[in-house]
Amino acid sequence: MAPSQSAAHVAINSPSITTAADNLDVSSHLDEDEMTAGSHIEHRGKLAKFMSQRLIEVFLPEQHQKQVTQLLKDQAAIATWLETRWQDQLWVRLLVDATEAETVIDLFATQFEGVEGFRLLLLEVEASLPLTTREEQEHDPEAENLLQSVLNASLKPQSSRINREEIYDRVFQSADLSWVQLSLIVLSTVIAAIGIVRDNQAVVIGAMVIAPLLQPNMALAVATTLGDKSLAYRTLRTGSIGILLALLLAVAIGYVVPVSLESSEIASRVQVRWPDGILAFASGVAGAIALTSEERSGIVGVMVSVALLPPLVVAGLLLGAAEWSSAFGASLLTLTNVICLNLAAVTTFLIQDLRPRQLQAQPQAEQVTQAAISIWLLLLMALVGVVLANRFYDLNLY
């Protein structure tokens, strides 16, 4: 029974992955001219200790074995296994660097996507054996040069991110509402409102820790960059419902609980200042980097929540307390932060060269991205215009 599609990103625990005694190495299928690729695989294997790895498993009908062997010739994999399994099915396994997984996935998907029985699984490798010591690598000029090239590539934004499929898998689930998300939104809003009313910064920080605000915004930025309109619509719906729920709950709390404008937690969030935009932009960049890198930290989610949750709750509290002008200022701050955060995330993804796999889909993705950036910029300019007009013409809007 072939693995299901839902197992797209899991850790490797099966001993069959680390034991190749019952497998047939691909080099046994290659002729003398193709054995060069096999020796290159050995040199790549010596770098396994210094980089993150992925295991790619491909299932295909056996009649495609010759095509697969041809594809594997030019792949710089750490290790490769190829064997025939049950029901005349071909089982291919490639251990590759995390930065090269996207290239291999694109190659197989482009070649076999329309083939019945084709299935590709991507698995994260926790560890692999054997390891090679640094001293052994220093005596191998080819391995040393290859290591240096890998280290140089890791300094480039395009090479430092994980592959497209993992990024998409990370944000896909957050595009749909769940009772967990709704529960966390309610809880974080209530806790933040209590902290703001009591002017207790520690309580507000606690609310930001559990607020589920990072993923929906990152999902929207990924959908925008890849031109995935369906994912974008779902994310917009989910994000809008979450924001509306938090706002209405804060309005209800502000209606029944006394709200003082003297609170520092409120007074600091009723005006839009240029450091607020910088904070939101930095949060968007940090969120995008955390999403596309190996190191995922909950602290980044807290930073994103800093830009979104407190001003949103303050706006709701002030609306409930009928403090209209101050509520308008807090609403402007919330909108400014949302715009800057999404602009920063999309810009970061573009710098990292995140694109659709299909070449024919790339023009549409560029159009969607340009349209989204234009909309965000127009909204930002409009908000800046309101802020400047209020400041220089004493409109007293907030």
DSSP string, 106-117: HHHHHHHTTSTT
Q: Residue 310 has what pLDDT? A: 94
Across 281-303, average pLDDT:
81
Residue 5 lies in a domain: no
Q: Place 42 in a pLDDT band, splitting at 50, 70 and 90.
A: very low
pLDDT at 209 over 60: yes
Across 197-216, average pLDDT:
91
Q: Tell me how many degrees the CA angle 46-49-51 measures, rounded to the nearest 5.
A: 105
Q: What's the structural domain count of the chain?
A: 2
Strand partners, 97: 53
Q: Are residues 213 and 233 in the same domain?
A: yes
Q: Which two tokens stand for residue 63?
A: 């009649």
Q: Place 183 in a pLDDT band, splitting at 50, 70 and 90.
A: very high
Cα–Cα distance, 104 to 112 (Å, whole number): 12
Q: Each residue of 119-140: pLDDT tens digit?
A: 999 998 888 877 654 445 555 5
This prediction has a pTM of: 0.75
Cα–Cα distance, 253 to 197 (Å, whole number): 10
Is residue 104 a contact partner of residue 73, using CB atoms and an 8 Å limit?
no
Q: Are residues 144 and 83 in the same domain?
A: yes
Counting beta carbons within 10 angstroms of the beta carbon of residue 180, is it exposed (0 to 12), middle (13 to 18) or buried (19 or more)?
exposed
Residue type for position 135: E
**Average pLDDT of the chain?**
81
Strands (E) across the chain are located at: 53-61, 79-84, 89-97, 119-124
Q: Are residues 346 and 204 in the same domain?
A: yes
Q: Are residues 114 and 178 in the same domain?
A: no
At residue 121, φ and ψ (nearest 5 deg) are -115, 140
Q: What is the DSSP letter of 74?
A: T
Out of 133, 155, 177, pick the residue that ends a domain.
Answer: 155
Q: Each residue of 336-354: pLDDT tens digit?
A: 999 999 999 999 999 998 9
Q: Residue 21 has what pLDDT? A: 33
Out of 94, 123, 155, pick the residue that ends a domain.
Answer: 155
Residue 31 lies in a domain: yes
Q: Residue 97 has what pLDDT? A: 84
Residue 397 lies in a domain: no
Q: Are residues 221 and 344 in the same domain?
A: yes
At how many degrees (to 10) do helices 101-112 and 65-72 cross?
Answer: 150
At residue 132, φ and ψ (nearest 5 deg) are -115, 135
Q: Are residues 190 and 146 in the same domain?
A: no
As a whole-number percent, the residues of the chain with pLDDT over 70 amount to 79
Residue 33 lies in a domain: yes
Residue 9 lies in a domain: no
At residue 108, φ and ψ (nearest 5 deg) are -70, -40
Q: Residue 131 has what pLDDT? A: 64
For 22, the 3-state DSSP assignment is coil
Q: Which residue has the higher pLDDT, 266 or 296?
A: 266
Q: Place 14 in a pLDDT band, splitting at 50, 70 and 90.
A: very low
Residue 6 lies in a domain: no
Residue 260 lies in a domain: yes
Could you list the residue range(s) of the whole structural domain that residue 139 is in? 15-155
Q: Place 41 in a pLDDT band, splitting at 50, 70 and 90.
A: very low
Q: Are residues 130 and 24 in the same domain?
A: yes
Q: Residue 139 has what pLDDT? A: 54
Q: What burial letters (b/e) apply to 336-360, b meaning 16+ CB within 10 Å?
A: bbbbbbbbbbbbbbbebebbbbeee
pLDDT at 158 over 70: no
Q: Are residues 247 and 313 in the same domain?
A: yes
Q: Place 296 in a pLDDT band, splitting at 50, 70 and 90.
A: low
Indicate which CATH number applies to the domain containing 21: 3.30.70.120
Q: Residue 321 has what pLDDT? A: 95
For 90, the 3-state DSSP assignment is strand
Q: Are residues 291 and 170 in the same domain?
A: yes
Q: Are residues 86 and 230 in the same domain?
A: no
Out of 109, 131, 155, pick the residue that ends a domain.
Answer: 155
Is residue 259 a contact partner of residue 318, using CB atoms and an 8 Å limit?
yes
Q: Are residues 116 and 204 in the same domain?
A: no
Q: Place 147 in a pLDDT band, splitting at 50, 70 and 90.
A: low
Q: Residue 391 has what pLDDT? A: 83
Q: Each residue of 365-396: pLDDT tens digit?
A: 999 999 999 999 999 999 999 988 888 877 77
Residue 182 lies in a domain: yes
Instruction: Measure CA of the first residue to CA of the last residue in the chain; give whole Å.
Output: 64
Token pair 């004493």 is found at 394
Is residue 7 a contact partner of residue 121, using CB atoms and an 8 Å limit?
yes
Chain-centre distance for alpha carbon 388: 35
Q: Residue 10 has what pLDDT? A: 33
Lowest-pLDDT range of 128-142, 205-219, 305-319, 383-397:
128-142
DSSP per residue, 321-336: TT-HHHHHHHHHHHHH
Q: Are residues 67 and 131 in the same domain?
A: yes
Strands (E) across 238-373 are located at: none
**Residues contacting residue 162 through CB under 8 Å, at least 6 positions apart:** 98, 101, 292, 293, 294
CA dist list (Å): 300 to 114, 144, 189, 256, 390: 39, 35, 19, 33, 33
